[in-house]
Amino acid sequence: MNATRAFLRATDIACRRGERLLFARLSLAVEAGEALHLAGANGIGKSSLMRILAGLMRPFAGEVEREGAMALLDERPALDTHLPLGRALDFWREVDATPAGRLDTVLTEVGLHDLLDVPVRYLSTGQRKRAALARTIAQGSPVWLLDEPLNGLDTASVAVVEKLVAQHCADGGLCVLASHQPVAVPGLKRLELAEFVL
Amino acid sequence: MIWAILKRDVVLLLGGGRRGGALLPILFFLAVAMLYPFAVGPDGQLLARTGGGVVWVAALLAAILPLDRLVEPDLEAGFFDQWALRGLAEEWICAVRILAHWLCFAVPLMLATPIAAVLLGLSGEQLLTLELGLLAGTPGLAALGVAVAAVTAGLRGGAALAGLLILPLAVPLLIFGAGSLSTGGEGGLALTGAASLVLVALSPFAAGAALRAARE
């Protein structure tokens, strides 16, 4: 994928939201080819940790080292809701300079190929999630940060996501996946956020 | 990449739909120019003397209307985070948005100004000074709009606050711009342009810093 191998390492990070210290002394390392499942109950700080790993938020303490371009999927799809799905995705295809065939392949994999003419706002929760997933995957980055990618998905789609993550890791990418649900990916490491709550 | 973003910005700001469109501020601008003679009476001399200033005030007020859709919707939909993840500086995004906002707001405004000039009985010479003044001043107004929209994005009552913030900051543009009409001089236009350039140069950084601060 990339000439240099991607990795994501965090050392002794703490996160504070407002007056509350969500977690502290958390260290993790994900190397190319690995996938990590961040597990924990709602509100424990999974999304905050994701944003810290993505570099969108500064940790209260500690450091994050990263190598390789990152793609983030969170609860906001970042697609223009009034546009047909195809055109909304086209914007990111242009920004990311994605090869023409790649987006088509990804759309077929997540089962959205028949919905390209439908405005994003008419899509169901699960379809919107899969659209955002398609945007994230088509970006072609070695590092995937997936925040609750399984929310709103049916069982068949969950299996598709698990397969895509496994495929991505087999291809030398890495993935951090935050979910309160169980995830079945071969070789998936697991990090319980509850262990780092003070 | 920047080209794709500019294209999207322009389409979003021009187009109607749920975000309002570029037509509304222009209609508002013309409505003010139309109402003014009703309010002060059909005294041609008075209208010609004060009409230029009215156009400037109307332009300033019209600039408030698009503020709430300049930054907020994209911030909420997660676009800014996605751009940040791709290593695009907020400053760049804001600079592009200033250009898009100028194209979608100021250019139609300048096209509508001759109509307003007719309604207010302005002479051809006055119209020319007015158009040059708007050409010099509107880039600053657009820059100010994006900066203020970025600062107030995500705040409750942000739209009203944005209007309140932009008006005092736009006073130099108004004074120099409208002043160039009464003196008929190039000095006023030059000062309008200078104030405008300062705003264009500073605003992307102010807006970028505001967007990053909002993430914390």
Regions of chain B where pLDDT drops below 70: 16-20, 184-185
Percentage of chain B beyond pLDDT 70 is 97
pLDDT value of position B20: 63
pLDDT value of position A3: 52
pLDDT value of position A2: 46
Token pair, residue B28, equals 């508002």
Please answer yes or no on whether A56 and B215 come within 8 Å at the CB atom: yes
Instruction: Give residue for tokens 């759309």.
Output: A107
pLDDT value of position B174: 92
Q: For strands A70-73 and A143-147, give the pairing.
A: parallel
Q: What distance in Å separates the CA atoms of residue A154 and residue A95, rounded to the nearest whole number?
A: 30
Mean pLDDT of all residues belonging to chain A: 92
Q: What distance in Å separates the CA atoms of residue B210 and residue B97, rounded to the nearest whole number?
A: 15
Please answer yes or no on whether A76 and B216 come within 8 Å at the CB atom: no
pLDDT, tens digit, for every residue of A9-49? 999 999 998 888 999 999 999 999 999 999 998 889 999 99
Using an 8 Å CB-CB cutoff, list chain A residues near B86. Answer: 69, 95-96
* φ/ψ (deg, to 5) at A6: -75, 145
Nearest CA in chain A to B7: A91
B159 closest CA partner among B29, B32, B72: B72
DSSP-derived secondary structure letter, B1: -
Using an 8 Å CB-CB cutoff, list chain B residues near A92. Answer: 82
The string of DSSP letters for chain A reads --SSPPEEEEEEEEEEETTEEEEEEEEEEEETT-EEEEE--TTSSHHHHHHHHHTSS--SEEEEEEES-EEEE-S---S-TTSBHHHHHHHHHHHHT--HHHHHHHHHHTT-GGGTTSBGGGS-HHHHHHHHHHHHHHT--SEEEEESTTTT--HHHHHHHHHHHHHHHHTT-EEEEE-SS----TT-EEEEGGGG--
How many inter-chain contacts (A to B, CB under 8 Å) are there?
51
pLDDT value of position B188: 87
Using an 8 Å CB-CB cutoff, list chain B residues near A77. Answer: 77-78
Is pLDDT at A108 greater than 60 in this prediction? yes
What number is the ipTM of this complex?
Answer: 0.92
Please answer yes or no on whether A76 and B81 come within 8 Å at the CB atom: yes
pTM of the full structure: 0.92
Q: Does A81 touch chain B (CB under 8 A)?
A: yes
Please answer yes or no on whether B1 and A94 come within 8 Å at the CB atom: yes
